[in-house]
């Protein structure tokens, strides 16, 4: 056994696959047999409803629903869908945010024999429109708070279902439709190597096999309380959804963007979260807010996924959490689910090279292949491929890409082989090491980004002649994107105009944090030499508005905070925080620094609403003045 794997809580690779009955404090577990994979998601969910009707299924800050209540809401939505468009398998778009209503709606869609496409309302309108047109959705399910966004979908004509208007008009009894396990359950859109996102088609059986594994891997139990920090429209959110609602546990959504990381520590304790799931990048930010000697008395497991775990992540885990709190991590893909995983303690030996992915697992045979598609020698480096009968069905309406990435098993039978595009190395004991991407797909803040999609979007701008995008890492091991551009004119386009152009077409995590204009892109044998591109300097970019220095002490304080958080040499008071390379995670740091240095409490949304130093200074000054007035009034009253 290697040094890497000898401290997986004393488990051999085989034992790791059956750990669920060993590590939950109650020593009990809800059986999820292989036979139950060959059914529908509603079948498994309704079993949990029968077992735990009065247990809390989902709890937010202002609402909580039991399994029985959630099931009845889903049944009413399912019946309303059938009344609206009739029976038959087809896509239903869900424009509902990420709370209780979304989850009730997606269960209702599945109960009606349809499949869902979760639409994130924060995405650019053009991306939402592409998804709707690509799936040819005939029905959008929404609610009052998203009705204005739905009205902006000009030119897309289909039926609309407002769940706030359903009420009790439909019966809450189960629909009891026979849904085969090989029927489509959902399409998840990810960044694609072509000009548009690609839709990954998942069946009920695929989702249930993935759920069955994660329930065992995390030892999910009806007494568990799982966090949900990710959007359901991404694979990480799906993990938490299925691991909770298909095991009888409760799911607790937390909106980091609106609530802020600073409140996450208090929330974990208040909600008594037992399984905390987040991305490695968010975890690195989160630990900065943990008070000294703080204890999470209920937390038994931390699950990091969405991007490779780093040595810094592991060191933070050891520093802030006791050995009794386990650390789980895994390597996976939207198309293949979990490929390898590990559950470790403080004694785990982090590898010197590469990233630990974990032990390979049953149902997913991992192959390491060379450029010719042949197995490499033992210990050799090659592309990670997965052989299994439980893979995503296909890429939606993209048979060429499906054929290229999903290969038939040369041995015959019902298994296929998925080519991940990741490079890896298999140790003698079956422990997998991740060594980066074979192509140019990267993870930014836990989201999968195809660099080619960002490049092609940049080239759509009329003043951009050539474009290249490279992923870099900051000292805090935070991945960010830098765009290298050749202009069509002698005058470079201001960065804020470029950013505004991209924001209309791409999600915020795909917007480069730095834009560098060059005379030409470096080439080798006619191909782009990405290694020759210089690392971005810590200089303020050129904006449409000229640089204006701070004038007041408050503005000088804010400029210093922004410059340090963003890692740039200077900030003008009219510069937009997000055009400077800021994003939601960095915004939480700014708000925390303001609270410490300005003695004022601001919600995170203020920085999104007032993204310049000048405007933010006015808000802070007004808040401080109001607080001073309150103190004066109180003192006067006391006299």
Domain locations along the chain: 66-180, 441-532, 553-638
Q: Please give the share of the chain, as a percent, with pLDDT higher than 90.
A: 61
What is the average per-residue pLDDT within 424-453?
86
Longest dimension (CA), the chain: 89
At 195 the pLDDT is 54
Residue 98 confidence (pLDDT) above 70: yes
Assigned token pair, 479:
């991945």
- At 364-411, the pLDDT tens digits run 999 999 989 999 998 999 999 999 999 999 999 999 999 999 999 888
Q: Please give the share of the chain, as a percent, with pLDDT higher than 70.
A: 91
Cα–Cα distance measured from residue 298 to residue 325, given in angstroms and rounded to the nearest whole number? 9
Cα angle 228, 232, 238; round to 5: 75
Cα–Cα distance measured from residue 257 to residue 269, given in angstroms and rounded to the nearest whole number? 19
At 29 the pLDDT is 60
Domain 66-180, CATH: 3.40.50.980
Under a CB-based contact definition with an 8 Å cutoff, are residues 501 and 512 in contact?
no
What is the average per-residue pLDDT within 288-312?
91
Cα angle 259, 261, 266; round to 5: 85
At 230 the pLDDT is 80
Task: Using alpha carbons, select from 2, 8, 14, 3 the residue that is nearest to residue 428.
Answer: 2
Residue 10 confidence (pLDDT) above 60: no
At 11 the pLDDT is 41
Cα–Cα distance measured from residue 33 to residue 216, given in angstroms and rounded to the nearest whole number? 11
At 20 the pLDDT is 37
- At 169-224, the pLDDT tens digits run 668 899 999 999 999 999 999 876 555 789 999 999 999 999 999 999 999 999 99
Q: Highest mean pLDDT: which of 67-81, 253-267, 295-309, 571-585?
A: 67-81
Domain 553-638, CATH: 1.10.1200.10
- At 105-164, the pLDDT tens digits run 999 999 999 999 999 888 888 889 999 999 999 999 999 888 777 777 867 888 999 999
Cα–Cα distance measured from residue 424 to residue 178, given in angstroms and rounded to the nearest whole number? 41
Q: What is the chain's mean pLDDT, rounded? A: 88
3-state secondary structure of 179: coil
What is the average per-residue pLDDT within 519-535?
81
CB atoms inside a 10 Å sphere around CB 13:
19
Task: Using alpha carbons, select from 175, 202, 171 the residue that is nearest to residue 187.
Answer: 202
Domain 441-532, CATH: 3.30.300.30
At 476 the pLDDT is 63
CB atoms inside a 10 Å sphere around CB 139:
19
Burial annotation 555-570 (CB, 10 A radius, 16+ → b, else e) = bebbbebbbebbbbee
Cα–Cα distance measured from residue 197 to residue 518, given in angstroms and rounded to the nearest whole number? 28
At 210 the pLDDT is 93
Lowest-pLDDT choice from 21-30, 36-45, 265-274, 500-509: 21-30
Assigned token pair, 151:
């009205």
What is the average per-residue pLDDT within 605-627?
91
Cα angle 608, 600, 316; round to 5: 75
Determine which helix (DSSP H) or strand (DSSP E) holds 558, and give its type and residue range. Answer: helix 553-566
At 399 the pLDDT is 96
At 3 the pLDDT is 46
Cα–Cα distance measured from residue 126 to residue 133, given in angstroms and rounded to the nearest whole number? 11
Residue 9 confidence (pLDDT) above 60: no
- At 538-590, the pLDDT tens digits run 889 889 999 999 999 999 999 999 999 999 999 999 999 999 999 888 898 99
Residue 15 confidence (pLDDT) above 50: no
To the question of pTM greater than 0.85 for the whole model, the response is no
């Amino acid at each position: 056994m290697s040094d890497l794997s000898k401290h997986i809580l004393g488990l051999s690779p085989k034992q790791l696959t059956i750990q669920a009955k060993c590590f939950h404090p109650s020593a009990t577990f809800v059986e999820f047999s292989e036979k139950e994979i060959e059914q529908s998601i509603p079948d498994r969910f309704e079993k949990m409803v029968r077992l735990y009707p009065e247990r809390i299924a989902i709890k937010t800050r202002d609402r909580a629903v039991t399994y029985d209540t959630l099931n009845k809401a889903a049944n009413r939505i399912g019946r309303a869908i059938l009344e609206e468009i009739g029976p038959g398998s087809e896509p239903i778009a869900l424009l509902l945010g990420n709370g209780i209503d979304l989850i009730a709606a997606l269960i209702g869609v599945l109960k009606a024999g349809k499949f869902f496409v979760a639409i994130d309302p924060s995405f650019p309108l053009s991306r939402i429109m592409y998804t709707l047109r690509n799936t040819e959705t005939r029905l959008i399910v929404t609610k009052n708070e998203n009705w204005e966004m739905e009205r902006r979908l000009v030119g897309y004509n289909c039926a609309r279902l407002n769940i706030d208007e359903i009420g009790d008009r439909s019966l809450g009894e189960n629909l009891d439709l026979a849904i085969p396990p090989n029927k489509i359950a959902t399409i998840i859109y990810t960044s694609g190597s072509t000009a548009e996102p690609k839709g990954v088609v998942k069946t009920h059986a695929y989702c249930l096999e993935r759920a069955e594994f994660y329930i065992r891997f995390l030892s999910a139990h009806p007494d568990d309380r799982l966090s949900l920090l990710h959007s359901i429209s991404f694979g990480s959110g799906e993990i938490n959804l299925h691991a909770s609602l298909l095991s009888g546990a409760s799911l607790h959504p937390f909106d980091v963007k609106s609530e802020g990381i600073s409140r996450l520590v208090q929330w974990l304790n208040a909600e008594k979260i037992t399984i905390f799931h987040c991305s490695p990048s968010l975890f690195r930010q989160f630990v900065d807010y943990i008070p000294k000697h703080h204890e999470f008395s209920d937390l038994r497991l931390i699950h990091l996924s969405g991007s490779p775990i780093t040595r810094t992540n592991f060191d933070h885990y050891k520093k802030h959490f006791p050995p009794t709190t386990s650390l789980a991590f895994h390597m996976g893909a939207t198309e293949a689910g979990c490929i390898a995983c590990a559950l470790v303690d403080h004694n785990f030996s982090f590898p010197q090279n590469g990233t630990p992915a974990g032990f390979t697992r049953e149902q997913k045979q991992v192959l390491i292949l060379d450029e010719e598609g042949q197995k490499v020698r033992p210990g050799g480096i090659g592309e990670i491929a997965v052989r299994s009968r439980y893979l995503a069905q296909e890429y939606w309406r993209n048979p060429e890409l499906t054929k290229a990435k999903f290969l038939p098993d040369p041995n015959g039978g019902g298994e296929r082989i998925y080519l991940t595009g990741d490079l890896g190395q298999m140790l003698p004991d079956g422990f997998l090491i991740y060594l980066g991407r074979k192509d140019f797909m990267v993870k930014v803040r836990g989201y999968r980004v195809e660099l080619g999609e960002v490049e092609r979007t940049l080239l759509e701008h009329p003043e951009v002649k050539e474009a290249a995008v490279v992923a870099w890492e900051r000292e805090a091991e935070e991945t960010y994107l830098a765009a290298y551009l050749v202009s069509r004119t002698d005058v470079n386009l201001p960065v804020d105009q470029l950013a505004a152009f991209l924001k209309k077409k791409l999600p915020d995590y795909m917007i480069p944090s730095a834009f560098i204009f060059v005379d030409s892109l470096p080439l080798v044998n006619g191909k782009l030499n990405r290694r020759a591109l210089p690392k971005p300097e810590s200089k303020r970019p050129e904006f449409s508005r000229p640089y204006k220095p701070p004038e007041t002490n408050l503005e000088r304080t804010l400029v210093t905070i922004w410059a340090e958080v963003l890692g740039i040499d200077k900030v003008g008071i009219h510069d937009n925080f997000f055009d400077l390379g800021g994003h939601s995670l960095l915004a939480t740091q700014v708000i925390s620094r303001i609270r410490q240095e300005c003695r004022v409490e601001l919600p995170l949304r203020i920085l999104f609403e007032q993204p310049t130093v000048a405007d933010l200074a006015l808000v802070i000054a007004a808040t401080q003045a109001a607080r001073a007035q309150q103190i004066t009034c109180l003192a006067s009253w006391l006299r």
